């Protein structure tokens, strides 16, 4: 029996994790659930899986959660705040931490889990984008295992040799990592109509069911850019070792190309329970509730190269990756501000990339070597991005 803390339990990844865990009550029990604003959903989850702790990131929801707990007969201790998130991520009783808090808010509890030597199922790509060097160094020191849960990175992990040595692709006979992306809902839309893209249109994905922020990131392909940066840290590779390939069917989740000409791909239905189950049980495999692919119904598999004009955010991310940690930290911060502004109706869809690029241009290049430096860069970029958004909103 292994104990699991789920950071971000009410999001799509958290809900899928609970679904997989519920299928294997003899293997897993939930130690803690954490959430942000969806208090009713969080307490309903707690009633079902009976965790020891329920943690709210926002202290203003404490009384509501306490009242619901009493009404629903929930006996879990209810905690609040950032330090409580870190506590349930690093508790000695915990074996596995699902890191699924969206955005920069997930960095500190994820880092706490890594420093405590946990098996960390990393679904929060921003943690690596913001501070990949810190997380990798912390894992090396603590003995933590970081397993990727993003479908693409999980696919790459499955396609690499089991004895792959971090950062040594050539020694494993690997020539290239092929990172696939669907291209989002605007892959074929006329470029001269992008200014008119609505919030509802950007929040629709043809293949995946995700939260609003990550769905907008998929539409701009910033999501793929963040995954590009994440892959460099996860596998210890350079930007030139990765090629992004558009694959609108989302059937092949990513591929690895070998010296002898072989390409090994991981295929499956677009359902996050597959990589979640793989991470929970690794190196074993368990039932995830996902139907196998029916090859008789597959009509075609398409591939193409992403268009830089259509997806400027992707190129911004690749360029930031080449520049270094400070640039990727700033880009992530700017993008969170820009997407939030778009979802609030303050800026147009095409302004997202403009805010991101202008933020990077206004800040001087530098190196970062500590968590404090990273948090300072995150804060500076948000301040600049918010200033840019205000200027666009007033036009």
Residue 12 is assigned to a ligand binding site = yes
Residue 205 is assigned to a ligand binding site = yes
Within 10 A of 293 (CB to CB), how many other CB atoms are there?
12
Residue 380 is assigned to a ligand binding site = no
Residue 374 is assigned to a ligand binding site = no
Distance CA 136, CA 300 (A): 39
Residue 151 is assigned to a ligand binding site = yes
At residue 149's C-alpha, the angle toward residues 144 and 155, to 5°, is: 110
3-state secondary structure of 330: helix
Residue 103 is assigned to a ligand binding site = no
DSSP 39-65: HHHHHHHHHHH--SEEEESSGGGHHHH
| Whether 306 contacts 321, CB under 8 Å | no
Residue 171 is assigned to a ligand binding site = no
Residue 152 is assigned to a ligand binding site = yes
Closest CA to 256 of 168, 147, 162, 156: 156
3-state secondary structure of 195: helix
Which contiguous run of DSSP H or E holds residue 78?
Answer: strand 77-80
Residue 224 is assigned to a ligand binding site = yes
Which is it for strands 119-122 and 145-148: parallel, antiparallel or unpaired?
Answer: parallel
34 DSSP assignment: E
Residue 304 is assigned to a ligand binding site = no
Residue 133 is assigned to a ligand binding site = no
Distance CA 179, CA 363 (A): 29
Residue 193 is assigned to a ligand binding site = no
Residue 35 is assigned to a ligand binding site = no
Distance CA 49, CA 72 (A): 13
Which is it for strands 2-7 and 77-80: parallel, antiparallel or unpaired?
Answer: unpaired
Q: Residue 73 — left, alpha, or beta (φ > 0 → left; ψ -120 to 50 → alpha)? A: left
Pick out the residues of the known binding site for 1-deoxy-D-xylulose 5-phosphate: 125, 151-152, 182, 205, 218, 223-224, 227
Residues making up the annotated binding site for Mn(2+) are 150, 152, 227
Binding residues: 10-13, 124-126, 150-152, 182, 205, 211, 218, 223-224, 227
Q: Which residues are annotated as a binding site for NADPH?
A: 10-13, 124, 126, 211
């Amino acid at each position: 029996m292994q104990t699991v803390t789920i950071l971000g339990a009410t999001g799509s990844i958290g809900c899928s994790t609970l679904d997989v865990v519920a299928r294997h009550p003899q293997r897993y029990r939930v130690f803690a659930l954490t959430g942000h604003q969806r208090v009713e959903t969080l307490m309903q989850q707690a009633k079902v899986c009976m965790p020891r702790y329920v943690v709210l990131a926002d202290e203003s929801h404490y009384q509501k959660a306490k009242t619901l707990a009493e009404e629903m007969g929930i006996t879990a201790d209810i905690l609040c705040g950032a330090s409580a998130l870190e506590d349930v991520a690093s508790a000695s009783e915990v074996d596995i931490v699902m890191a699924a808090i969206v955005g920069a808010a997930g960095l500190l509890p994820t880092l706490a889990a890594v420093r405590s030597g946990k098996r960390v199922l990393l679904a929060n790509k921003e943690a690596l984008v913001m501070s990949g060097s810190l997380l990798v160094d912390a894992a090396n020191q603590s003995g933590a295992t970081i397993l990727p849960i993003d479908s693409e990175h999980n696919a790459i992990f499955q396609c690499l040799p089991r004895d792959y040595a971090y950062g040594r692709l050539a020694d494993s006979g690997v020539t290239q990592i092929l990172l696939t992306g669907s291209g989002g809902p605007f892959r074929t839309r006329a470029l001269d109509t992008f200014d008119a893209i609505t919030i509802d249109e950007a929040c629709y994905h043809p293949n995946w069911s995700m939260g609003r922020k990550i769905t907008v990131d998929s539409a701009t392909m910033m999501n793929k850019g963040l995954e590009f940066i994440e892959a460099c840290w996860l596998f210890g590779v350079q930007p030139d070792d990765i090629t992004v390939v558009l694959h609108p069917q989302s059937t092949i989740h990513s591929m690895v190309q070998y010296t002898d000409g072989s390409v090994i791909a991981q295929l499956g239905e677009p359902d996050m329970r597959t990589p979640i189950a793989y991470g929970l049980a690794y190196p074993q495999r368990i039932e995830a509730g996902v139907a196998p692919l029916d090859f008789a119904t597959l009509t075609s598999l398409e591939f193409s190269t992403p268009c830089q004009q259509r997806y400027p955010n992707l190129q911004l991310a690749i360029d930031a990756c080449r520049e270094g940690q400070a640039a990727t930290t700033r880009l992530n911060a700017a993008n969170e501000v820009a997407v939030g502004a778009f979802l609030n109706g303050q800026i147009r869809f095409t302004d997202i990339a403009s805010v991101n690029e202008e933020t990077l241009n206004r800040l001087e290049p530098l190196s970062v070597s500590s968590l404090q430096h990273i948090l300072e860069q995150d804060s500076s970029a948000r301040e600049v991005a918010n200033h840019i958004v205000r200027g666009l909103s007033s036009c």
